[in-house]
Amino acid sequence: MYDSHAARKIAESRALDSADQEIIVKAMDDGIETVWDRFADQQPQCGFGQLGVCCNRCAMGPCRIEPFGKKPTRGVCGATADLIVARNLLDDLSTGAAAHSDHGREVLEVLLDTAEGRSQGYQILDEEKLQTVAAEYGIQTDGRKKEEVAGDLARAMLEEYGTLKNRIQMTERAPQKTKDAWKNAGIVPRSVDREIVESMHRIHMGVGADYANILLHAMRTSLADGWGGSMMATEGSDILFGTPTPCTSLANLGTLSSDQVNVVLHGHNPILSEMIVKAAEDPELVKRAAEKGAKGINLVGMCCTGNELLMRHGIPIAGTLLDQELAIATGAVEVMVIDYQCIFPSIAHTAGCYHTRVVATSAKSKVPGATYMEFRPETGLDTAKEIIALAIENFPNRNPDRVRIPAKPVRMMAGFSEEAIKKALGGSYKPLIDAIVAGSVRGVVGIVGCNNPKIKQDYGHITLAKELIKRNILVVETGCAAIASGKAGLLVPEAADLAGDGLKAVCNAVGIPPVLHMGSCVDCSRILVLAAHVADELGVGIGDLPLGGAAPEWYSQKAISIGTYFVASGVYTVLGIPPKIFGSQNVIDLLTSQLDGIVNASFAVEPDPMKAADLLEAVIEKKRHALGI
Ligand code: SF4
Ligand code: MSK
């Protein structure tokens, strides 16, 4: 047991947000093991692993390379440090690309089921987007029912996963100059599954032995994610559930309710959670909750399933990756519904310390100790109602003596899809472009990605975002980075007071925050589309724009794919957590400088967010100079 002062100090070292700190102290008081405890237990972490020079790829290994030039300098098969590092990176990136893209495939399958009348509770909500995307695919829309068009579109998009035409349609959205760079480098993605499968082939022992060739394929695979699987996830979700428009909501663990049934929706895919939103409004279930003594049913989001619901419905968001155990430690969660990705494998173990039930819903993501209620599109709404009923039944099991909910959720805005940003600007990007050309806004940076116990939760995101807006750089965000900004109060128009005079004037004129929440991790594709539109209006490539990207606290293989498709698309990107590449100077050189000559962008690694702001600003100013603005 910690004394309260020591516990407070530990909590302050783990998280920036005071609501998080409060529950970290409670978790310690309750004797709950969290991610920070397990991280401490793992110290010191393996130096070979951190450098990326260990290989466990075949049964002649495991092998590791001595980083200081001593023996062994090659694995049993003869692989060098360069090759081992590059193969490990491609392995991680492809895992991330697969996760995003498989999520996209499931959305499209529900779209097809809905078009063909097989799903339960779903409908096609955004007909305008349906028509626009269908036109891109050359699908006839005139005089046809929306279900017919949606069926053709879903089939065309599903075909992109293994297409024989060697081209993913949505890559056509990129500016010509950007596409030319891909073509010259030989990294135009051919189909989603093909690039990922080929990655797996290339990293098998005895296939790719040239680290540079492997890294070029990493770029191609990431493009198949960003301009393929992720973009299709975003567009398919918009067509089914509506394209987000600006909305207000609340953030942090204080969004949990002391007198309502609390259901936390955690993971990434919105297809089931959209049905849970409907089920929670069912009068019969609302009545049943009242009979159990609850004042209602309170849905809150977590991670990117939370972001999807926040963007489209204004459902409050309880937190990020590192908040999942803390939400349970409030003692106030009846059910945590999980789909997949970013769910701690120990989450049901944590829930076992309280009355919380974890409900797993995907056949791909079963979790020991969780109740399994399989989601299927044809029974989606029924399953959602069963989950809400389970939460209601569990409400009387809540022990009020073990409940602690932070007092104050923070007000925030979300819903800034690319379309919504354009609309907020008056229907065209001209006001933003004019402000950039005039210099009142110097450029735009996308801050994306996760939390990681290697850095105080949210410190990297918030320090960087505040510093950039102070320097008149507009910030757009997705994923846990956006949730962090919500908790820190940066996602409201009043936060423009923290911005430099130029950005502040633009935000005040348009009525937007200086940090815009653009959605979930797959919605990084919205940032690509925004960049493509602005580049097209200026007649340049994405790599010519005063743009930057940052992932200050990333942990996930998906973030490697996102960072790489940003760079491959021409966006200079700074990573706050060092990737596992430092065992190879050649890989470092290629990723941090040589890529500039190929895609007009590169990576940097900078753990200090203030220095990261300097790097991003310098690149933005360099691009401005080259554009003559
Ligand atoms: Fe060792 Fe080569 Fe096998 Fe990797 S692929 S484990 S370096 S023998
Ligand atoms: S949820 S991938 S921790 S952003 Fe998308 Fe957050 Fe990273 Fe998961």
Ligand showing the shortest atom-to-Cα distance for residue 339: 2
What domains can be seen in the chain, in order of their start residue? 74-241 (1.20.1270.30), 253-402 (3.40.50.2030), 417-627 (3.40.50.2030)
Distance 206 CA to ligand 1 centre (A): 9
How much of the chain exceeds pLDDT 90, in percent? 98
Q: What is the pLDDT of residue 480?
A: 98
Ligand showing the shortest atom-to-Cα distance for residue 85: 1
CA-proximal residue: ligand 1, atom 2 (nearest): 77
Q: What is the pLDDT of residue 19?
A: 98
Res. 500 pLDDT band, cuts 50 70 90: very high
Query: In ligand 1, which atom is closest to the CA atom of 205?
Result: 5
Distance 209 CA to ligand 1 centre (A): 12
Mean pLDDT of 201-220: 98
**Bridge pairing between strands 371-372 and 603-605:** unpaired
What torsion do the CA atoms of 26, 30, 33, 35 make, to the nearest 10 degrees? -10
Ligand showing the shortest atom-to-Cα distance for residue 451: 2
Q: Does an H or E element contain 92, and which?
A: helix 81-115
Q: What is the pLDDT of residue 3?
A: 73
In this predicted model, what pLDDT tens digit does every residue of 311-349 receive, in sequence order?
Answer: 999 999 999 999 999 999 999 999 999 999 999 999 999
φ, ψ of residue 357 to 5 degrees: the values are -105, 130
Distance 84 CA to ligand 1 centre (A): 8
Ligand showing the shortest atom-to-Cα distance for residue 77: 1
Distance 58 CA to ligand 1 centre (A): 5
pLDDT over threshold 90, residue 531 = yes
In this predicted model, what pLDDT tens digit does every residue of 350-377 receive, in sequence order?
Answer: 999 999 999 999 999 999 999 999 999 9
Least confident stretch, 91-95, 404-408, 443-447: 404-408
With a Cβ cut-off of 6 Å, ligand 1 is lined by 55-58, 60-63, 75-77, 79, 84, 205
In this predicted model, what pLDDT tens digit does every residue of 135-159 receive, in sequence order?
Answer: 999 999 999 999 999 999 999 999 9
Mean pLDDT of 58-67: 96
Read off the amino acid at residue 473. Answer: I
Q: What would the DSSP string read from start to end of 184-239?
A: HHT-----HHHHHHHHHHHTSTTS---HHHHHHHHHHHHHHIIIIIHHHHHHHHHH
Mean pLDDT of 269-279: 96
Query: In ligand 1, which atom is closest to the CA atom of 58?
Result: 3
Q: Of the candidates 112, 272, 166, which has an alpha carbon nearest to the alpha carbon of residue 263? A: 272
The percent helix, strand, coil of the chain (3-state, each to 5) is 55, 10, 35
CA angle 427, 430, 431 (to 5 degrees): 90
Residues 6+ apart with CB under 8 A from 559: 96, 448, 449, 450, 521, 551
Distance 341 CA to ligand 2 centre (A): 8
In this predicted model, what pLDDT tens digit does every residue of 80-126 receive, in sequence order?
Answer: 999 999 999 999 999 999 999 999 999 999 999 999 999 999 999 99
Query: In ligand 2, which atom is closest to the CA atom of 342?
Result: 8
pLDDT over threshold 90, residue 405 = yes
With a Cβ cut-off of 6 Å, ligand 2 is lined by 268, 303-304, 320-321, 342, 449-450, 479-480, 520-521, 556, 558-559
CA-proximal residue: ligand 2, atom 7 (nearest): 450
Q: Which of 95, 100, 341 for a ligand 2 pocket mutation test, highest count of atoms within 8 Å of Cβ?
A: 341
In this predicted model, what pLDDT tens digit does every residue of 284-308 receive, in sequence order?
Answer: 999 999 999 999 999 999 999 999 9
Tally of CB atoms within 10 A around 212: 14
pLDDT over threshold 80, residue 1 = no
Tally of CB atoms within 10 A around 44: 6
> Radius of gyration of the chain from Cα atoms?
24
Q: Which of 48, 56, 57, 202 for a ligand 1 pocket mutation test, highest count of atoms within 8 Å of Cβ?
A: 57
CA-proximal residue: ligand 2, atom 1 (nearest): 303
Ligand showing the shortest atom-to-Cα distance for residue 75: 1
Distance 79 CA to ligand 1 centre (A): 7
Mean pLDDT of 614-624: 98
Distance 290 CA to ligand 1 centre (A): 61
- Tokens found for residue 277: 């939103």
Residues 6+ apart with CB under 8 A from 327: 253, 256, 264, 300, 302, 318, 319, 333, 336
Ligand showing the shortest atom-to-Cα distance for residue 80: 1
Q: In angstroms, rounded to a whole number, what is the distance separating the alpha carbons of residues 462 and 240? A: 33
Residues 6+ apart with CB under 8 A from 625: none
Q: In angstroms, rounded to a whole number, what is the distance separating the alpha carbons of residues 73 and 70? A: 7
Q: Which of 230, 523, 556 for a ligand 2 pocket mutation test, highest count of atoms within 8 Å of Cβ?
A: 556
Between the CA of residue 12 and those of 8, 9, 118, what are the distances in Å? 6, 5, 51
Tally of CB atoms within 10 A around 378: 13
φ, ψ of residue 71 to 5 degrees: the values are -75, 150
Instruction: Tell which phi-psi region holds residue 138, choosing left (phi > 0), alpha (psi between -120 and 50) or beta.
Output: left
In this predicted model, what pLDDT tens digit does every residue of 410-425 receive, in sequence order?
Answer: 999 999 999 999 999 9
pLDDT over threshold 60, residue 472 = yes
Q: In angstroms, rounded to a whole number, what is the distance separating the alpha carbons of residues 50 and 67? A: 11
Res. 2 pLDDT band, cuts 50 70 90: low
